[in-house]
Each structure stands twice: as C-alpha cells, then as structure tokens.
Amino acid sequence: MEVRLIRHTPKPELLVASAAKLCYSKVGIEDITKNLSRDKQNEFIKKLLKMGHLSPFEHISFTFGIEGISRVCTHQFVRHRIASFSQQSQRYVSFDEAEYVIPPAIKKSLKTKFEKYTEDSLKFYRQLIEEGVAPEDARYILPQSFCTKIVVTMNARELFHFFGLRCCNRAQWEIREVAEAMLTEAKKIAPNIFSDSGAPCVKGACPEGELSCGKPKKRL
C-alpha cells in the first residue's frame, strides 16, 4: 500500500488561524493574516478545537494519492460523502497482472488457495476480454481483493471525522492502515491541527460501548 500526500492548502495553520481571528476580532480582511506568529496560530487552533468551532477547518484541504489497496477498502472509503474521489476505472482500464491484497489473517494453505483462486479469476477475466467481452463486463469476475488506485480530497473537518471512525480499532485493518498513514502525512504539514486526531479514545472516552476494543480501559 502506498499513501502519498499530493497537495494541500498552502500554510494551512495560518489560514485556519486567520479565519478564527476574523471571527473573534474587529480585524478587516486585509489584516487577518498579519501578526499571526506560530504561537498565536496554535492558540487560535487550540481555542477552535476546544470550543468545537470546526467550520474554520473546512477552508483547508488535503489531497492523497493511494494505491495498492483493495476494492474492499475503497468501497468503505467512498462511503465518506464529504470527500472527493477519483478512482481508476475498471471500465476503461483492463488488467494483465493479478495485483491483489491478501488479509494478514489468511495464512499457510488457505493463503495458497486464496492466491490460486485469484490468479484463476484473472485468467478467466483475460479469456473473456480475448473473446470480445468489454472490460466493463469482464470485470464482474474479478474478486474484491483486486488492487485499485484512488485520489481522495478531504477538508480538515472531514479528516477529523474520517480519522475518528477509521483509525479506531473497530475499523477494518486495511482502511485503518490507510487512515493512519494519511494522519501521519497530515500531521507533518499541520501538527497543531491534527495533534488530537485519531480514534476518539486519543482524547477522551470510547463511544463504542460493548463493542469497544478495550484499549481505552487499559490506559486508565
């Protein structure tokens, strides 16, 4: 799996702090970005996060390029509606090689069977295409383990929400790995904004009730 931060709003922490400054002072637009030291920016960011005033975080966005993940994972990913996606098409792109994801829980002889089943699916897919079936119809035979590529853009407020759901141990391992890699990248660019991001137990109680993984209790 590869998760790459392709683009982000320049100076994201300055922009969020400027928007906050506008909300909480008489400043005019011309001056909103002025006199905002790193400490002052952090002060505004902390204040917004503490108050739950999250709309200023919608002004900054992050675009990730992700490859080597399964269609299972992207099916879960694209359920996040406050995000923009561009995914490699199985209608316009046909596949020659079997690139697929094997869940770590599948081991030994089951892994061998898994590989054979997947390779056989690709062989039949190729046969369908050679016999004139369009890739958009031949793809019906491909398993969900097949790899795909996707470009994802989210604003920071949606990223908070996404990380809350998908960095949690209750999320499936593959999308959790994606989310954790995205969080690592986002933190490099905006460490103050994403300092408390992740599963809800990073900053407070676990909302999962009887489905909790138990990790928050161990921390107490």
Ligand X SMILES: Cc1cc2nc3c(=O)[nH]c(=O)nc-3n(C[C@H](O)[C@H](O)[C@H](O)COP(=O)(O)OP(=O)(O)OC[C@H]3O[C@@H](n4cnc5c(N)ncnc54)[C@H](O)[C@@H]3O)c2cc1C
Please provide the size of the chain in residues: 220
Compare residues 138 and 175 and give the one whose CB is closer to ligand X: 175
HEC letters along the chain: CEEEEEEECCCHHHHHHHHHHHHHCCCCHHHCCCCCCHHHHHHHHHHHHHHCCCHHHHHCEEEEEEEEEEHHHHHHHCCCCCEEEEECCCCCCCCCCCCECCCCCCCHHHHHHHHHHHHHHHHHHHHHHHCCCCHHHHHHHCCCCEEEEEEEEEEHHHHHHHHHHHCCCCCCHHHHHHHHHHHHHHHHHCCCCCCCCCCHHHCCCCCCHHHCCCHHHHHC
Of the candidates 11, 53, 59, 80, which one interacts with ligand X according to CB under 6 A? 80
Compare residues 99 and 208 and give the one whose CB is closer to ligand X: 208
Compare residues 138 and 158 and give the one whose CB is closer to ligand X: 158
Of the candidates 6, 82, 110, 134, which one interacts with ligand X according to CB under 6 A? 82
146 φ/ψ angles, rounded to the nearest 5 degrees: -60, 140
Contact call for residue 108 and ligand X (CB under 6 A): no
Q: Is 166 a catalytic residue?
A: yes
Of the candidates 40, 47, 79, 123, which one interacts with ligand X according to CB under 6 A? 79
Q: Least distance (Å) from ligand X to the CB of residue 170?
A: 4
Contact call for residue 81 and ligand X (CB under 6 A): yes
Q: Least distance (Å) from ligand X to the CB of residue 86?
A: 17
Q: Least distance (Å) from ligand X to the CB of residue 95?
A: 27
- Given the structure tokens 């892994």, which residue do they identify? 111
Q: With CB under 6 A as the contact rule, which of the stretches 23-31, 33-41, 158-166, 177-185 interacts with ligand X?
A: 158-166
Q: With CB under 6 A as the contact rule, which of the stretches 17-25, 63-71, 80-88, 125-133 interacts with ligand X?
A: 80-88
Compare residues 138 and 167 and give the one whose CB is closer to ligand X: 167
Catalytic option among 166, 170, 176, 219 = 166
Touching ligand X, residues 164-183 (CB under 6 A): 165, 170-171
Contact call for residue 187 and ligand X (CB under 6 A): no
Cβ contact 76:175 at 8 Å: yes
Catalytic residue numbers read 166
Positions touching ligand X (CB under 6 A) are 79-82, 158, 161, 165, 170-171
